[in-house]
C-alpha cells in the first residue's frame, strides 16, 4: 500500500521492531518519539530511508505539526508509559497513555484524509486473573476489568480510540519478549517487579518481531473495527514461575532464579493482569506468529554459547543474590501480594476512573 506510516513510540521495544518491519516491507515510515540521548543514538542506526521526528505527544502543538506534516495513511500508536516504570510515574501515565492518545486521535480525525489508527493496547485491560477462578484463554469479547494504573489508563485509551470516527484497529499484546537483550528493560525495578508476581499467574509471551509483523499487517488488513489479541502460539503459554527460570537457563544460568510465591487461590484481586489468550482470529487475519518459544530459546542459547559454562558456575551465587532481592525475602505469609509489593517497592499502583 502506498502512504506513510507514522509510528509513535518508534524507538521503544515494539516501535523499533515495527519500524524495521515496515522498512523491510518497503513502506514509507516515520518514527516519532521523545528527543532523548538514547533515542538520538538509536536514530543514527535506523534502516535506510526511515525518517524520524522528535515529538512529545503530551504537547498538542507538536502533535499537530507531526501529523499534518507527515500526512500518514496509517498511525501505529505505541507510545505509552508501561509497567513497571508506570508505578513510579503516575502523572506521566495519565498524560501520555490517556490525554496524549485523545489529542492524537482528535488531530488525526481532523485531517483532510484521516489515517487508519492501529492502537497498541494490552491484555492487562482484562484485569487481575486468578487462574483458579477465571476461565482461560481470554477472548477479545471478554469484559475489560482494569484494576491498576497501567490497565486502567490502557483501557481508557482504548475507549477513546474505539469511540472515535477513525478507522481503528485495537491490538492487545501479551508479554512482549526479545532475543535482543539490549532491547529489553532489564532494570533492577524490572527484577523486583518480576519477583512480586505470583508464580502460578498465567502469561502468554510473544516475540517482538511477531508483534511488529502484526502491527505492520494491521495497517492494511481487512480488520477495521476489530480488537485482536496478539500473542505467540500455544508454546508461549507460561506461568511466571517458569518464565524467568527458562529465560535465565537459556542464557546459561539454570537454577539462578529462586522460587517465588504462588498467588492466593481465594483472592480475586491479588493477581497480576496477564493471562493466556485466544489468538485464533488475530492469526487468521494477520498471520503474524512466526517464532515459537523454542525458536526464541534456541536463538538465545546460540547467541549466549560463551556464557553456558561460566553461567553454570555463577548460577548459585546469582540465585542467592536474587533471593535476597526478592520482594518477599523474610516477609510473613505464604502467598504473593503483587499490588502490596508494588506499592511498597515502586509506587502506588491504584487507578480510579476519573
Ligand atoms: N512490552 C510489553 O510487554 C507490552 C505488553 C502489552 C502492551 N504493550 C503496549 O505496547 C506499546 C509499546 O510498548 P513497548 O514495550 O515498546 O514500550 P517502550 O517503553 O519500550 O516504548 C514506549 C515508547 O513511548 C515513548 N514515549 C513515552 N512518552 C512519550 C511522549 N510523551 N511522547 C512521545 N513518545 C513517548 C517512549 O520514549 C518509548 O520509546 C505500549 O502502548 C504498551 O502499553 C507492551
Domain spans in the chain, listed from the N-terminal domain onward: 4-181+205-235
Q: How far is CA 108 from the centre of its chain?
A: 24
Q: Is 152 in the pocket of ligand 1 (CB under 6 A)?
A: no
Query: What gap in Å lies between CA 132 and CA 77, rounded to an integer?
Result: 34
Q: Is 42 in the pocket of ligand 1 (CB under 6 A)?
A: no
> Which pLDDT does position 311 carry in this prediction?
86
Q: Are 216 and 298 in contact (CB under 8 A)?
A: no
Query: What gap in Å lies between CA 305 and CA 197, rounded to an integer?
Result: 29
Q: Are 128 and 151 in contact (CB under 8 A)?
A: no
Which residue, 104, 125, 124, 213, is CA-closest to 168?
104
Q: Which atom of ligand 1 is nearest to the CA of 211?
A: 10
Which residue, 323, 353, 302, is CA-closest to 146?
353
Pair type for strands 74-77 and 51-54: unpaired
* Tens of pLDDT, residues 76-104: 999 999 999 999 999 999 999 999 999 99
Q: Is 104 in the pocket of ligand 1 (CB under 6 A)?
A: no
Q: Is 131 in the pocket of ligand 1 (CB under 6 A)?
A: no
**At residue 1, does pLDDT exceed 60?**
no
| 4-181+205-235 CATH | 3.40.50.720
* Tens of pLDDT, residues 144-153: 999 999 999 9
Q: Are 336 and 328 in contact (CB under 8 A)?
A: yes
Q: What is the mean pLDDT of the segment spanning 60-71?
A: 98
- For residue 83, the CA-to-ligand 1 centroid distance in Å is 10
List, in order, residues 6 or more apart from 354 with CB less than 8 Å away.
Answer: none
Copy the grid coordinates of residue 3: 502512504
Q: Is 80 in the pocket of ligand 1 (CB under 6 A)?
A: yes
Amino acid at each position: 500500500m502506498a502512504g506513510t506510516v507514522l509510528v509513535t513510540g518508534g524507538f521503544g521495544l515494539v516501535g523499533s521492531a515495527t519500524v524495521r518491519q515496515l522498512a523491510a516491507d518497503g513502506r514509507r515510515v516515520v518514527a516519532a518519539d521523545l528527543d532523548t540521548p538514547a533515542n538520538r543514538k538509536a536514530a543514527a542506526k535506523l534502516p535506510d530511508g526511515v525518517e524520524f521526528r522528535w515529538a512529545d505527544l503530551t504537547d498538542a502543538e507538536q502533535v499537530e505539526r507531526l501529523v499534518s506534516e507527515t500526512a500518514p495513511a496509517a498511525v501505529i500508536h505505541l507510545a505509552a508509559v508501561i509497567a513497571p516504570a508506570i508505578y513510579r510515574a503516575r502523572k506521566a501515565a495519565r498524560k501520555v497513555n490517556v490525554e496524549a492518545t485523545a489529542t492524537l486521535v482528535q488531530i488525526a480525525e481532523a485531517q483532510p484524509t484521516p489515517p487508519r489508527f492501529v492502537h497498541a493496547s494490552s491484555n492487562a485491560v482484562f484485569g487481575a486473573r486468578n487462574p483458579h477462578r477465571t476461565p482461560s484463554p481470554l477472548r477479545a469479547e471478554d469484559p475489560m476489568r482494569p484494576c491498576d494504573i497501567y490497565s486502567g489508563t490502557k483501557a481508557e485509551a482504548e475507549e477513546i480510540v474505539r469511540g472515535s470516527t477513525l478507522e481503528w484497529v485495537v491490538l492487545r499484546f501479551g508479554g512482549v519478549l526479545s532475543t535482543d537483550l539490549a532491547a529489553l528493560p532489564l532494570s533492577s525495578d524490572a527484577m523486583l517487579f518480576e519477583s512480586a508476581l505470583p508464580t502460578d499467574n498465567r502469561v502468554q509471551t510473544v516475540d517482538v518481531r511477531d508483534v511488529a509483523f502484526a502491527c505492520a499487517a494491521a495497517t492494511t488488513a481487512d480488520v477495521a473495527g476489530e480488537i485482536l489479541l496478539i500473542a505467540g502460539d500455544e508454546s508461549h503459554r507460561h506461568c511466571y514461575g517458569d518464565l524467568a527460570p527458562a529465560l535465565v537457563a537459556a542464557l546459561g544460568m539454570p537454577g539462578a532464579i529462586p522460587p517465588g510465591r504462588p498467588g492466593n487461590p481465594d483472592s480475586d484481586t491479588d493477581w497480576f493482569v496477564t493471562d493466556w489468550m485466544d489468538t485464533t482470529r488475530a492469526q487468521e487475519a494477520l498471520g503474524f506468529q512466526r517464532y515459537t518459544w523454542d525458536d526464541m530459546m534456541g536463538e538465545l542459547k546460540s547467541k549466549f554459547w560463551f556464557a553456558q559454562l561460566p553461567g553454570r558456575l555463577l548460577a548459585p551465587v546469582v540465585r542467592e543474590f536474587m533471593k535476597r532481592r526478592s520482594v518477599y525475602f523474610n516477609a510473613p505469609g505464604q502467598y504473593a501480594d503483587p499490588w502490596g509489593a508494588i506499592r511498597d517497592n515502586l509506587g502506588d499502583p491504584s487507578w480510579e476512573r476519573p
